[in-house]
Amino acid sequence: MVYATADGAARRRLRVGMVGGGRNAFIGAVHRFAMRLDDQIELVAGALSSDPQNAAASAADLGLAPDRAYADYRAMAAAEAARPDGIEAVTIVTPNHLHAPIATAFLEAGIDVICDKPLSTTLAEAEALVRLARGRGRKFVVTLNNTGYAMVRQAREMVAAGELGTVVSLHASYIQDWLTRPIDADGQKQAEWRTDPERAGQSAVLADIGVHAFNLACFVSGQQADEVSADLFTAVPGRRLDDNAHVMVRWSGGARGTVLASQTSPGHYNDLSVRIYGDKGGLEWRGTRPEELRFARYGEETSTIIRGGHGARGEAQRLSRMPAAHPEGYIEAFANLYRDAAALIRAHRSGEKQDAALAALVPDVVDGARGVKFVAAAVESSGTDGRWTKAAFEG
């Protein structure tokens, strides 16, 4: 239960539980990989499935003690809160519609929360979670994991330092092709729930991947969405929710731009990008080449800054585990978020002074609520033929 820090000091691992993420669940395994990478977190309990047999088998796969393998998250919250060695935080990796009720149960039990996106399926739920987390004085992290990439952190620093000048144009997109065919109608598990309004919420493509693009734009630029004009549509006949979204955005700092999301674009496996242009220069980062940041000062040749290389600095250096050309990527970005979340939760629970600079880098319940508000505003706008709709979260 104890690990050594870089300076040789001994520190106890954060005790964490997980809800969801049982056998054959993709994202649950990703979260567990990320937890392990820096050895600061120990998974000690779980309600890994609502099916008791699968919950027990999944817990056994992970080496969890039988008395800490639960088939009901409410029972888990109550039991773990009562234990002297109970979990200090819970990770929620279930379908969207369960995020809010599970987070509520653990917040009310006095347990901090790390929740996969989106925060909830409705704005009312998101607002309630913001109030509850604040009222109970609990930490609430939302795993908008792309903020953990080293070069995304450097891009944020460069924008904040004024290296682009006044930002005038801001664009983010997330494009995939895995739903080009009606695999949801054929019962493919991961596709089937994501296109079900009862479990995914009011939008499929925005709740699944569009919120990542939106959050990435906000995180790097330091701006929020004021208003949106959106066109959401379904490319596959018979699909119950949208699989494409084109959203024009008026950003809070005066910039204009777009957020695009598609899951029916052949040839794009997982293409996430953000582009920011100011009156002095421009930046571009792509998830398909996460170790590179393209930077151009107006009138000069475009340069490519490499993670671990000579142009990397600040957060990019802190988050680099390997030298340049020793590739890092998706799991490491997730792990960076978990490492920072563990530090914040540990300090909060022990009464230590909070690192405000670090806290600003970790997406919290308000960031999650902003994403839900963005989705709700885009759905409303699309339903009114693209009418400009308020998108700012006021909580």
* 335 domain residue, yes or no: no
Q: Are 256 and 116 in a shared domain?
A: no
CB distance 175 to 265 below 8 Å: yes
pLDDT for residue 310: 87
Tell me the C-alpha distance between 227 and 222, whole Å. 16
> In angstroms, how far is the first alpha carbon of the chain from the final one?
38
Supply the mean pLDDT for the chain.
Answer: 95
* Helix (H/G/I), strand (E/B), else coil: 171: strand
* 333 domain residue, yes or no: no
Q: How many domains does the chain have?
A: 2
Better-predicted residue by pLDDT, 387 or 354 = 387
CB distance 223 to 252 below 8 Å: yes
* 348 domain residue, yes or no: no
Tokens representing 180?
């080009």
CB distance 6 to 37 below 8 Å: no
Question: CATH number of the domain that 379 lies in?
Answer: 3.30.360.10
Which of 7-16, 270-279, 349-358 is modeled with the greatest confidence? 270-279
pLDDT for residue 185: 95
Q: Are 136 and 176 in a shared domain?
A: no
* Domain extent for 153: 148-322+364-390
Tokens representing 292?
């590179």
Task: Tell me which of 116, 145, 174 is where a domain ends.
Answer: 145
pLDDT for residue 5: 54
CB distance 261 to 276 below 8 Å: no
pLDDT for residue 319: 92
Tell me the C-alpha distance between 115 and 125, whole Å. 14
The alpha carbon of 270 is separated from its chain's Cα centroid by a whole number of angstroms, namely 15
CA dihedral over 62, 27, 74, 195, signed as positive or negative: negative
Task: Reply yes or no: is the peptide bond before residue 118 cis, omega within 30 of 0.
Answer: yes
Question: CATH number of the domain that 54 lies in?
Answer: 3.40.50.720
pLDDT digits (tens, 9 = 90+) for 85-112: 999 999 999 999 999 999 999 999 999 9
Q: Are 253 and 212 in a shared domain?
A: yes
CB distance 267 to 252 below 8 Å: no
Other Cβ atoms closer than 10 A to 177: 16
Residues 6 or more apart in contact with residue 161 via CB below 8 angstroms: none
What's the angle, vertex CA 231, arms to CA 194 and CA 148, rounded to 5? 55
Q: Residue range 163-186: average pLDDT? A: 98
Angle between helices 26-37 and 330-350 (to 10 degrees): 60
Q: Are 380 and 271 in a shared domain?
A: yes
Q: Are 85 and 181 in a shared domain?
A: no
Tokens representing 108?
């009310």
Task: Tell me which of 120, 145, 170 is where a domain ends.
Answer: 145
* 225 domain residue, yes or no: yes
* 334 domain residue, yes or no: no
* 350 domain residue, yes or no: no
Other Cβ atoms closer than 10 A to 38: 17
Q: Are 226 and 85 in a shared domain?
A: no
Q: Are 132 and 170 in a shared domain?
A: no
* 174 domain residue, yes or no: yes
pLDDT digits (tens, 9 = 90+) for 55-72: 999 999 999 999 999 999
pLDDT for residue 395: 80
Q: Residue range 187-196: average pLDDT? A: 94
Q: Are 54 and 179 in a shared domain?
A: no
* 279 domain residue, yes or no: yes
Q: Are 222 and 371 in a shared domain?
A: yes
CB distance 94 to 19 below 8 Å: yes
Task: Tell me which of 145, 163, 197 is where a domain ends.
Answer: 145
Q: Does the pTM of the predicted model rise above 0.85? A: yes
CB distance 227 to 257 below 8 Å: no
Question: How many Cα atoms within 13 Å fall on the side-chain side of residue 242?
Answer: 24
CA dihedral over 117, 170, 273, 152, signed as positive or negative: negative
Q: Are 237 and 134 in a shared domain?
A: no
Q: Are 226 and 84 in a shared domain?
A: no
pLDDT digits (tens, 9 = 90+) for 289-338: 999 999 999 999 999 999 999 889 999 999 999 999 899 999 999 999 99
Q: Are 14 and 118 in a shared domain?
A: yes
Q: HEC states along 301-347?
A: CCEEEECCCCCCCCHHHHCCCCCCCCCCCHHHHHHHHHHHHHHHHHH
Tell me the C-alpha distance between 119 and 69, whole Å. 25
